[in-house]
Amino acid sequence: MCGIVGHFSAGPVNQQVYDSLLLLQHRGQDSTGIATAEGRTLHQAKKSGQVREAYRTRDMRELLGNIGLGHVRYATKGHATNLDEAQPFYVNAPYGIVLVHNGNLTNTRELTLEMRERDFRHLNSPSDTELLLNVLASSLQDSVGVRHLDADGIFDAVTQVISRIRGAYGTIALIAGHGLLAFRDPMGIRPLVLGRRDVAPETAEAAAGYRGVHGLPATLPESEWVVASESLVLEAGNYEVVRELAPGEAVFIDEAGTLHSRQCAEETRLVPCAFEYVYLARPDSVMNGISIYESRLRMGEKLAETIQREIPDEDFDIVMPIPDSARPAALQVAHSLGKEYREGFYKNRYVGRTFIMPGQAVRQKSVRQKLNAMRSEFEGKKVLIIDDSIVRGTTSRQIVEMAYQAGAVKVSFASAAPPVRYPHVYGINMPNAEELVAHGRTVEEIRDVLGSDHLVYLGVEDMAEAIMAGSDWDGLEMSCFTGDYVTGDVTEEYLEFVAGDQES
């Protein structure tokens, strides 16, 4: 899971990319990067940590140009602290390309061998983003050759890329002197949304002056464009949503601001990642036509039905969420069951999301730094705690302990998602089944590990119905709950390789 954005602007683009990355910060906190194109010159800055603390005025001054892209990283491969693995990645041939990517490729071993023995390209890191960039560069060289690069040539190259790579990916690239490219995997597992807005009259004069100084085409474009992981970026920037990129679709915005698009995959299905709706995305986003907030309310409604069957009514007085992503589900549980809704955990806003912290030891330390249990809300009470999901169990176990220490006489725990029993290989850091508290355990055994009086999970079918209500999707990517990997290329041998690769 990462956050990516690409902007085509009439004037300077650096501030727009920066502001968009702030909105996507929840998707990754390890590192961040921005690249801009000033005609045929590319500028780049990559930093460790979060966006607001990472960039200085001098960095922004050097990010010249009217086309740009950005990335916030949550490491799923390699090392979270290694800035050499931070995105974007750059190759100088052909044309000069920088690229960012959200997701994971699943055929990296085969591609790495091809890069060395067929494409004769050097890889300097274990990042599958660098690998994807080199596949794109090689495909551009093959499909275009010496002729002038245009939208058709770019789409021919993307068609080659999609035929070679496997897995889940939302991708945005800058091609120096040509424009902004974005494309999505053929199953639409990872999200990507396109937006546009008119060039505002009050900014047109300043934009024209900027373009003259920096050698950009003098004619102002009619539209400004954005491609991003989540729709909230579009809403905050006053863009209209054009559409979600279709599975396997590529869009290219040339230097004049003209949008080109083409379907580049032979076979496509729309099978979005369930974990986007459970936890990853912000509740004010809409993905694939479905409101994240409303889907979480529906998950809460389904969860309430399960709780009513499995926990005696007299065993809890109040319903309490783990802030922030569990709030919609907890609100709906309390409303459906006629129980009082209370907030007893105070969240420290200056500590990142514990699920995406690198390393188990860091997660364990961060839980107590992130959450504080207010004794007045727990003492002498029977509490039902709602969380969006239970992954490794580290956070959940400490939260149950905190509730008892604050004076609760009974603590029940409920997850608004099913048990996470299997590794996730499409862009979420769950590569090792042995780290998952639900792997190989019954619900009662998990309850014993957490130390709660009761433990309830939402069922797989209930979750799918809650997320997909009103959609026309072909399915839902739920591999971490079901063990069914929708791309069809994930074997037991591959899962063992991924787990070992993460540990090394």
Residues 101-121 have pLDDT tens digits of: 999 999 999 999 999 999 999
Residue 456 lies in a domain: yes
* pLDDT value of residue 356: 47
Q: Do 159 and 223 fall within a single domain?
A: yes
Please say if the pLDDT value at position 412 is more than 70.
yes
* pLDDT value of residue 81: 63
CA atoms within 13 A on the CB side of 431: 24
For residue 138, give the CATH number of its domain.
3.60.20.10
Compute the average pLDDT of residues 330-352: 90
pLDDT tens string 49-101: 999 999 999 999 999 999 999 999 987 655 656 788 899 999 999 999 999 99
Least confident of 278-292, 348-362, 387-401, 473-487: 348-362
Domain extent, residue 126, equals 3-269
Q: Give the pLDDT band (50/70/90) at residue 369.
A: confident
Cα–Cα distance for residue pair 232/286, rounded to 1 Å: 8
* pLDDT value of residue 366: 63
Q: Structurally, how many domains does the chain consist of?
A: 2
Q: Do 152 and 57 fall within a single domain?
A: yes
Q: Which of 227, 254, 269 is the endpoint of a domain?
A: 269
pLDDT tens string 222-254: 999 999 999 999 999 999 999 999 999 999 999
Compute the average pLDDT of residues 279-306: 97
Please say if the pLDDT value at position 365 is more than 60.
no
- CA 36 to chain CA centroid, Å, is 22
Please say if the pLDDT value at position 28 is more than 90.
yes
Q: Do 300 and 218 fall within a single domain?
A: no
Please say if the pLDDT value at position 173 is more than 60.
yes
- Quote the mean pLDDT of the chain: 92
Residue 264 known to be catalytic: no
* pLDDT value of residue 352: 55
Percent of the chain with pLDDT over 90: 83
Compute the average pLDDT of residues 431-437: 91
For residue 398, give the CATH number of its domain.
3.40.50.2020
Q: Do 228 and 334 fall within a single domain?
A: no
User: Which residues lie below 8 Å from residue 288, measured CB to CB, with a gap of 6+?
Assistant: 188, 191, 244, 270, 272, 471, 473
Q: Do 297 and 381 fall within a single domain?
A: yes
Compute the average pLDDT of residues 36-40: 94
Residue 342 lies in a domain: yes
Residue 277 lies in a domain: no
Residue 493 lies in a domain: no
Residue 67 lies in a domain: yes
* pLDDT value of residue 334: 98
3-state secondary structure of 32: strand
Residue 457 lies in a domain: yes
Q: Give the pLDDT band (50/70/90) at residue 219.
A: confident
Q: Do 255 and 325 fall within a single domain?
A: no
Compute the average pLDDT of residues 415-422: 97
Q: Do 158 and 301 fall within a single domain?
A: no
Beta bridge partner(s), residue 226: 7, 195
Cα–Cα distance for residue pair 427/186, rounded to 1 Å: 15
Q: Do 302 and 227 fall within a single domain?
A: no
Cα–Cα distance for residue pair 299/328, rounded to 1 Å: 9
Q: Do 94 and 127 fall within a single domain?
A: yes
* pLDDT value of residue 504: 42
Cα–Cα distance for residue pair 273/188, rounded to 1 Å: 8
Compute the average pLDDT of residues 383-398: 96
In degrees and rounded to multiples of 5, residue 315 shows phi and psi of -90, 0
Compute the average pLDDT of residues 381-400: 96
Please say if the pLDDT value at position 217 is more than 50.
yes
* pLDDT value of residue 19: 98
Cα–Cα distance for residue pair 10/438, rounded to 1 Å: 51
pTM: 0.93
Q: Do 404 and 321 fall within a single domain?
A: yes
